[in-house]
Amino acid sequence: MVNLSPPRLSLNQNCTPAWSVEQDVEAAVRCGVPGISVHRRKLEPVGAAPVRRLLRDAGLAVPSYLATGRFLFPGERERRIEECKQHIEAAAQLEAGCLVMLTGPQGQMTWDEANAEFLRAVDVILPLAAEHRLKIALEPVTAAVPDHSYVHLLGDALDVVRQVNSPWFGLAVDLWYCWWERHLTERLREAGKKVFIVQVGDHNPDSPSMYDRAMLGEGIMPLPRLLREVRESGYTGWYDIEVLSTRFTPQDRERLLPQCVAGFNAAWGASGGGA
């Protein structure tokens, strides 16, 4: 059955690296965006409790906390596991919808060796996540940044999720990373309720960099088709606006959220989602 309920938009703090949390809140409220996905670099200087209080007072939800994982850095496994436990506690304080996780680099290991190492680390942290009823969302990312992850394709990420086999472990789907995948429609349908959050950006035609994305509606991604495929997979959660670029000026930052809201709404309407 196709979901036609109005989409929920959130501002990912990767969009506004130089802004304070207060500025993010003001922008979200001004644009009618009901959520902010919090990044650890903005939370850690002030703490989870003040950030949660600020967002709650503004009536804003926290769809995700962007913080954790990367267990596979050589010699850092134990430290990063302990760090992840702290991130779980912070995400629980934020009442975040999920905690977004990267794996860390494959390095000299085979894919299967890296996967086995990652699964062993997940086994350690998952009981704490379950205790807090906190969902962990594995995000597959481009191979252009090999220090981030050994998981680059949505199908591979789904295989990892199936191996973990827990209601608390699923996927963060960033459409900017996977829009070109051949079997995207099938993978989204297979994932079903294991998709905990969908991140949305647009692709600059003149730049291959993940740090140079276009505002929604100003790039080359087929957003109406992509949003339709996500919706028809049964997804009913948040659409997290994640547009980052090293070329944005302060003026660009000011117009980023209004433009992305307008671009998303236009694409949603064109996808058959209605108003």
Residue 61: partners with Cβ closer than 8 Å, 6 or more residues away: 10, 34, 35, 36, 55, 95, 97
DSSP letter string, 8-53: EEEEEGGG-TTS-HHHHHHHHHHHT--EEEEEHHHHTTT-HHHHHH
For range 209-233, the mean pLDDT: 94
What's the fold here for domain 8-270?
A: TIM Barrel (3.20.20)
DSSP codes joined into one string, 168-220: TEEEEEEHHHHTT-TTHHHHHHHHGGGEEEEEE-EE-TT---TTBEEPTTSSS
- The pTM assigned to this predicted structure is 0.95
Q: At residue 4, does pLDDT exceed 70?
A: no
Distance CA 14, CA 260 (A): 14
For the chain, the structural domain boundaries read 8-270
For residue 191, is pLDDT > 80? yes
Asked if 93 and 46 touch (Cβ cutoff 8 Å), the reply is: no
**Residue bearing the bigger pLDDT, 211 or 147:** 147
| Stretch 250-256: mean pLDDT | 94
User: Residue 236's pLDDT is what?
Assistant: 96
> What confidence score (pLDDT) does residue 145 get?
87
Most confident of 154-168, 194-208, 241-255: 154-168
- Examine the pLDDT at 275 and tell me if it is beyond 70: no
Mean pLDDT of 66-73: 94
pLDDT attached to residue 67: 87
Q: What's the mean pLDDT in 125-132?
A: 98
